[in-house]
Amino acid sequence: MIVEVLNFGLTSLVVFCRVGACLLVAPAVASSRVPIPVRLYIGLSLAALISPSAGIHSTDAFSTLSSITLMIFSESFIGILFGFSVRFLFLALEVIGELISMSIGLSNSFGVPVDGLDPSPIVTSVFSVLVLSLLLILDLHHKLIEGIAGTYRMMPIGTRFLLTNSLREVVDMISNAFLIVIRIASPFMFFL
């Protein structure tokens, strides 16, 4: 009985490491405008929702302190990697705003920063507000939560994390995101 409770507690901790690391860099939640206790409560509630369905791949996953420490770092890295893959889509949209504002001559008029602290051109601020509003209005933040839960199907707790394959997939996704952004911005860049 005590071993099962301990395993569930350690599983919840490891799930919180992945979820919390993802929310640390995910758009809309990682903004400085969201208070830290709110981010913590969101991470804890998502971890509590995901923990019962997140299975452990190996039976001796929590056998030693070093394996627990390695698992915490591995799960945190997986969460950060997933969060950055979503974050880079928003950074690509900020790049499109910068390109459009430079091509139409509005690069020196700065607007209110939406997600960061640095002022950005008005077009970038408008794109950021528009995309962030659409993300929340169209319930795409639920897809982020489904994606976090889906990482446990792809990489259950205790599996060996292959850094080269994961980074290759993230680089491919980032290059595709920037290609899409350049295609969207091409009328503004080439015809104005």
CB-CB contact of 11 with 68 (8 Å) = no
Tens digit of pLDDT for each residue in 86-126?
888 888 888 887 777 777 777 777 777 666 667 777 777 78
What pLDDT was estimated at residue 20? Answer: 92
Share of the chain above pLDDT 90, in %: 4
Q: Annotate 128-170 with DSSP letters as a single string.
A: HHHHHHHHHHTTHHHHHHHHHHHHHHHS-BTPPP-HHHHHHHH
pLDDT in tens, 50-97: 888 876 655 566 677 887 888 888 888 888 888 888 888 888 888 887
Contacts of 183 (CB under 8 A, 6+ apart): none
The count of structural domains within the chain is 1
How far apart, in whole angstroms, are the C-alpha atoms of residue 14 and residue 101? Answer: 43
Exposure letters 152-168 (e unless 16+ CB within 10 A, then b): beebebbeeeeeeebee
Q: pLDDT band at residue 152, thresholds of 50, 70 and 90?
A: confident
Residues in the chain: 192
Instruction: Work out the average pLDDT over 165-187.
Output: 79
C-alpha distance across the termini of the chain, in Å:
70
For residue 116, the model assigns a pLDDT of 66
- Give me the domain span that covers residue 20: 2-191
